[in-house]
Structures are given as C-alpha cells and as structure tokens.
Amino acid sequence: MSLTTMIIKMSEGLTRTCAIFFLTLIFSLPLGMVVALLRMSKVKIVSAVTRFIITVLRGTPLMLQLLAVTYGPYYLFGATVARNKLIPVVIAFSINYAAYFAEIYRGGIESIPIGQYEAAEVLGYTKVQTFMRIILPQVIKRIMPSVTNEVVTLVKDTSMAFTVSYQEMFTIGKQIANSQTSFTPFLVAGVFYYIFNVIVDYVMGRIEKRLDYYK
Amino acid sequence: MKKTVLILLTLVMMVSLLTPAAFAADKTFIMGIDPEYPPFSYLGDDGEYTGFDVEVCKAVCDSLGWKMEIFGVNWDEKLVQLDSMECDCVWSGMTILDSMKEAGYVISAPYYDNTQVLVVKADSGFKSSKDLAGKIVAVQLGTSGESLLNGDLADMAATFGNVLTCDSFLKCFTELQGGAVDAVFVDMPVAASYVAKHDGIAIIDENLGAEQYGIAFRSGDAELCKTVDDAVQALVKDGTYAKIAEKEEYADIVNNLLFLNSEAK
Amino acid sequence: MADKRTAGPGADTPSVLSIRSLQKSFGSLRVLEDISLSVERGSVVSIIGPSGSGKSTLLRCASFLEHAEGGDILYDGQYALKDGVYAHKSELNRFRTRFGLVFQNFQLFPHYSVLRNISEAPILHGENKEEVRERAYGLLKKMGLEGKETAYPYQLSGGQQQRVAIARALCMRPEILYFDEPTSALDPELTGEVLKVIRQLAEEKMTMVVVTHEMPFAKAVSNRVIFMADGVIVEQGDPIEVFENPREERTRQFLRVFER
C-alpha cells in the first residue's frame, strides 16, 4: 500500500475523529455547567449524588465507560447494540468530559469573590443576570487554560473509540498497520494528531487573547 | 566519566541484544499469548493463565528444565512485541501466514488445522456466506479471519455490507447478540466453544478457509524453534501431549490437532 | 437611646431609613443587639466603632446582604422587614432601588469598562440607554474621572476605582447611599480624593450612612455620629458632642486611641 493510499484511507477516519471531537465539545461544555451547578447545589442530597457521579466518571477509565455505554444496555436489559457507534461514543465522551469540565467550572465559579455577587445584588441584577453577565464571563477567562488542556487531551482520547470498534482514524491506522505489517500508519496517525492539536492550540490561544482585554 | 557510562550502557545494550541467542538450561522462557483466546490460551477460573497451548508449553519447559513466564501480548501488535523481546515466542492459536515467513520470522511445525466459520443468530435464517450479502460482519482485529477478509476472501468480503473490526472476539459476539452485526467471522474452535456456552447463536456449516496454527519465533531463533519443536514431538511420543488434549475443555479442538491425528492415521 | 422622633408609618415626613430593634447573630454569636436608628432625608450619619462592633453588619442588613432575625427595617415608612419577617422578594427588589452601597473593596466588575460598570444596571432596569449614558458621563465628570469611560478597572488607581464605584451607585439614583469603610482599602495618599467626593455629596444634601475610621472626616461632614461596640449602639448624637464630650466611658476609650 502506498503512503498516499494510506493517508487517504486514514483521512476518511479523520472525519469520524472530528465528529467525536466536535460533538463531544458541543455536548460536554454546557452539560459540564449543569453538572457544576448541581454539584454546588444547596440541596445536600443533590450535591452529594452529583459529587458521587463525578468521582465515578473521573475515577474510572474512559475506555470502561465506552464499553459500559455501548454494551451495558445489552447486558443489563437485552437492548439492541447501536449499529451506529458514533452515538454511544459521543454519549460516553460527553458524559466523561462533562465531569471534568464540571470540576473546572466549579473551581472557576468558586474563585470569584463573593463581593461580585453582592455588588450585583445591590445593583438589582437578578440571579440569572448576575450569573450570565458578571460571574460567567470572569469564570470563562479564569478557566481557559484548564479547558485548553482538556480539549488537547480530547483530541488524543478520540482514539479510544477504537474500543467499541468505531472506525475513527486510529482504528483504521491500526487495521492498516496490521494487514501491512508496517509501522507507518502509526507515524501518520501521530502527525495527524499533532497537526490537529496545533490547530486547537492556535484557536484556544486566540480565544485567550481576546479575553486578555482586562485583568 | 561520561564516556565510561556511555561505554557501559552500550555494553549492557549489546549484551541484552545478544542473550536470547545464547540460552542455557536455566533459561526463562517467556511465552507470548493472547489471554483471551480459549481454549488455546485464556485466564482460567482460578485466575491463572491456562489453555491447551499454555499446558503444552509448560510441559515443554518442564522437560527442558526451563523456567516459564507468560506474557499477555496485544494481539494486533504481537510480532512487534516479539521483536522487542517482550516475549520469546508467540504461541497462542496463531495462524501461520505467508507474510510472517516473508518477514523472516521462524515458525514451528504446524500443530493445528484451523477452519474459519461464520457465526449467526440461530433464528436469522442465514445458511451460507451468500445470504450475508449486504449484511454487517464482525471480525477480530489482528486475527487470521481479518487477514483472510482482506486477502484470499476479499471477494466474499466485498459482498458484505460492512466489515466491523472489534478488538476482542467477545465484543464481536456481543455485537452479534446485541443485534448490531449479522454475523461473526471467527476461528472454528472459538466459535464452537462460544456457541456451546451461549444460546440463540449457531455456526454456518461452511468451511471458509483452512489454516494452520504454529508458534512464531524471532528471525534469529531457529535453534530455539527446533528445540521447542523437538520437545513437543517428545511429548507426543511419550503420550503427555495426548493426555493434555484429552481433557474435556479441549474437546472442541482435539480432532484438529495435527500431531495426534497423523499418528492415528 | 434610639432616636424617638422617627416614627413608622403615618408620620408626617418619614425617615428615609429607620431601623428598630434589629437583631442579628452568626450562629451563637450575637452581632447586632436591639439596634434602632433613623436617617433623615439630606442628612449624613457616620457610624464609628472598633472592628467587630457590628457596624458593617448593620449596613449589610440595611442593604439586605445579611438577613436579620428580628426587628424592623423601613424605607420611607414602608416595611422591608417587619418583626423579623421580610417582605416578598419582588418588594425587596423594589426597596433595593432606594439605596446604593459602596464597598470597601470597590467590587467593580473587572470585565466591564468604566462606562458599562456605571450604566448597565439602570439600563437593565429598563431605563433609556441614552439617558443613562448621559447621566453616567455627568457623574464621571463630577467624580473627576472625565475621559476614563473606556478604561477598565485594572487600569485605574484604587482611589479612581472607588470613585467609579460611587458613580455606579449614584447612577441608580438612590435615595440613600451607604458606604462601608470606603477608604480602608486605599493607600493613605488616595483616601483624600474619595473623602472629597463624599463631602461634596454631603453638600448636595445626599442622604448617606458612612461606616468609617476617618474620625476627622466623620466629625466634619456628618450631621450625626453613632458609636457602636459589641453589637450595640453605645452612644449617638451631634458629632461635636460625641467627639469632644462623649457621655460614655466606652466611647472615650475608643476615641483616645485616635488622639494619639
């Protein structure tokens, strides 16, 4: 197999890799905020349950969670295993990353001085206005470096979709490597991931820069 | 100072590269297995690795006075792991492929005749590979089944709707039972032992590729290969081999063991 | 000791703020004990006292940042807190528009420009954008911060930030303005510019309550001084009298420290 064929084959998988990446971000970023707010709930049982779920999601391998989401329903209820593996993959990734984002958000929210809430309250901002206008923008600026870290990790984590036979780039690379008894596909995969992350770094850097107008 | 360290390191590396060729009586023999490939090699109920290949290897090591260690390889990277000295052989229901010999690996005498079959749901009504046109077929990554579908059986594979590659045969079967795929293309003994334990699935009676199992050694290890081959033959002669094969858990494979059947003939 | 001239509902000219028998504790710790005071329109009341005396808590209760457990809080004769029970949330929100609070640490919104810091709240309350802007520019001029509209808080000195905070509170057009130790977080050379602004507001008859450690300022600017210690009002009255001829021993002790 020529290098060109190899790259073309693997590029097909790259579309799926991108699908995992973007869909996971689209779902997990807001979901993480919901989880963070539940985690900080004043209702003790809500925050305790949320906290437990977060520790499970952060304390078990993503690979296990992928298996659980994909095959768990079949083993538990005899439900049909999804033919389109993108669905369980994105669900597992989104839930897992939401747990990580939730803790980042929580750290960010808790780092905002209580005085900011009080100033907004005295000025008659509603709770929602206070959060959306005063707190959240400051939180976003503070957590950007941690979020960038997670996003870079996500790029590399997409290769784990292999566990449930989702034909993303790395899975295809492995198959080629196997049938051609060649290491080249792994090299190609490495280059792909590197380029992907260079782009991610650039974009995140731009966002951080745009938030740099205040201190 | 730095130079001395460098020279020492180089020496250590050279020695470590040379050692496998020079093996003595007290050698530790590292057997590379796929720990998920019953009945040839798998994790037994007692948590120890067992299986037909493992038992034979144990007997071989006993007879040669070697210590034995087991190393669970990542099946689709088994030859890389063999090359990188993580194990001394790959001995785990491994199909002998021409490409292995071409790549210079030393392969033992074939000891098992393997047959590839399709496993489907019992109520699916699929009777032959032709019924599976347009359907989804699962295969384990790195198995002979996968290479067959990419090679000799590519024409048949082209009629399938899609070939799904899973990283373990358990996942292949789960996909089948969970309804995500329509058939699993797998080695006969694996199919037989799985079907025996699970209801609702059946083997299509169609031999889709006869292959043989052997043991793979590194390119420089022809001598080691011969030692092992000879030891196995000795076990065949003194009946130890047959004794192992007679065990109930190997009932599915006993008829395909080449050494026993050639002797019977 | 409470000012008995202030009446509740029904009085001819109700006080802007009146507080009666206010009780507040943090856990088992009593921080406010039977506090009663009233603030007349156009007057400046200074609250002095050692730290931990409850003076800040008093302001925070008056601005609903802390929940009192007993007593009354009335704005213009209307109950915000009656006998330890707060008015409905929506009513409290309406009361909030009557007062402004300036914090010790300014609490400007760091991600907003000076202009947006000042003007956003009134605009959110439905006021005309242009009118609010106009007003904000006027206030900035008054605070001596002309040309700083587009600056961000981090670009300003502490004194400038505190003046922006005052402008922000004023832009809501409150009937009464609270200051919680407005100069305590400032370098000594910057306190003057903030006190000058407060003094100017006093001359314009802005109703204010100032919790402060600046004794000369309290003496010069306020119409009345309240001395608090250990959660109670020890003494209150005309500033000259309280400062020069305190009736209570506790007050004398406290003031002696500042004479040195």
**Token digits of residue C226:** 């309240």
Q: List pLDDT tens digits, range B125-159.
A: 898 889 999 999 999 988 888 888 888 888 888 99
CA distance B143 to B40: 14
Residue B196: band (very low, low, confident or very high) from pLDDT cuts 50, 70, 90: confident
Q: Tell me which residue range forms the domain holding A59.
A: 3-210
CA distance A74 to C5: 79
CA distance A10 to A36: 37
Q: Measured between beta carbons, which residues in chain A are less than 8 angstroms from residue C97?
A: 124
Shortest distance between the Cα of B9 and any Cα of chain A, in A, equals 27
Give yes or no for C89 touching A (CB within 8 A): no
Residue B265: band (very low, low, confident or very high) from pLDDT cuts 50, 70, 90: very low
Residues of chain C with pLDDT under 70: 1-13, 259-260
Neighbours of chain C (3+ CB pairs under 8 A): A
Nearest to A123 among C121, C152, C153 (CB): C121
Give the predicted TM-score (pTM) of the model: 0.76
Q: List pLDDT tens digits, range C42-92.
A: 999 999 999 889 999 999 999 999 999 999 999 999 999 999 999 999 899
Q: Determine the residue of chain C that is closest to A139 in CA distance.
A: C111
Q: Measured between beta carbons, which residues in chain B are less than 8 angstroms from residue A177?
A: 76
Q: Do A174 and B171 touch (CB under 8 A)?
A: no
Q: Inform me whether the pLDDT recorded for B173 exceeds 50.
A: yes
CB neighbours of A167 closer than 8 A, spacing ≥ 6? A13, A16, B164, B165
**What is the ipTM score, two decimals?**
0.90
What is the crossing angle of helices A136-157 and A184-210, to 10°? 170
CA distance C146 to C159: 14
Residue labelled with tokens 């349950």: A49
Q: Do A165 and B167 touch (CB under 8 A)?
A: yes
Q: List pLDDT tens digits, range B39-61.
A: 899 888 787 899 999 999 999 99
| Per-residue confidence (pLDDT) for residue B1, from 0 to 100 | 52
Q: Inform me whether the pLDDT recorded for A1 exceeds 80.
A: no
Q: For B122, which DSSP code?
A: T
Q: Measured between beta carbons, which residues in chain A are less than 8 angstroms from residue B164?
A: 165, 167
**C-alpha pair distances (Å), B223 with each of A14, B23, B227:** 45, 10, 6
| Per-residue confidence (pLDDT) for residue B6, from 0 to 100 | 56
List, in sequence order, every residue forming a beta bridge with C18; answer none if it has no partner. Answer: C38, C74
Q: How many domains does chain A have?
A: 1
Q: Determine the residue of chain A that is closest to B140 in CA distance.
A: A165
- Beta-strand pair B67-72/B162-166: unpaired
Low-confidence winner among A157-171, B21-35, B71-85 (lowest mean pLDDT): B21-35
Q: What percent of chain B has pLDDT over 70?
A: 89
CATH, domain range B114-210? 3.40.190.10
**Token digits of residue B188:** 């006969």
Q: List pLDDT tens digits, range A101-119.
A: 999 999 999 999 999 999 9
The burial of B48, by beta-carbon neighbours within 10 Å (0-12 exposed, 13-18 middle, 19 or more buried), is given as: exposed
Give yes or no for A197 touching B (CB within 8 A): no
| Per-residue confidence (pLDDT) for residue A158, from 0 to 100 | 94
Q: Do C154 and A118 touch (CB under 8 A)?
A: no
Nearest to B171 among A165, A179, A181 (CB): A165
CATH topology of domain B2-112+212-264: D-Maltodextrin-Binding Protein; domain 2 (3.40.190)
| Per-residue confidence (pLDDT) for residue B13, from 0 to 100 | 53
**C-alpha pair distances (Å), C258 with each of B259, C46, C209, C222, C245:** 106, 16, 21, 18, 15
CA distance C211 to C54: 10
A137 within a domain of the structure (yes/no): yes
CB neighbours of B6 closer than 8 A, spacing ≥ 6? none
Half-sphere exposure of B236 (CA within 13 A, CB side): 15
CATH code at A150?
1.10.3720.10
Q: Measured between beta carbons, which residues in chain C are less than 8 angstroms from residue A118?
A: 65, 103, 107
Mean pLDDT for the stretch of residues B12-34: 65
Nearest to B141 among A80, A164, A178 (CB): A178
Nearest to A74 among B138, B150, B178 (CB): B178
Q: Determine the residue of chain C that is closest to A141 in CA distance.
A: C111
Give yes or no on whether B2-112+212-264 and B114-210 have one common fold. Answer: yes
Cβ atoms of residues C250 and C49 within 8 Å: no
A215 within a domain of the structure (yes/no): no
CA distance C233 to C47: 9
Q: List pLDDT tens digits, range A144-155.
A: 999 999 999 999
Shortest distance between the Cα of A37 and any Cα of chain C, in A, equals 22
Q: Inform me whether the pLDDT recorded for B25 exceeds 70.
A: no
Instruction: Return the C-alpha torsion angle A68, A74, A77, A82, nearest 10.
Output: 100
Averaged confidence pLDDT in chain B: 85
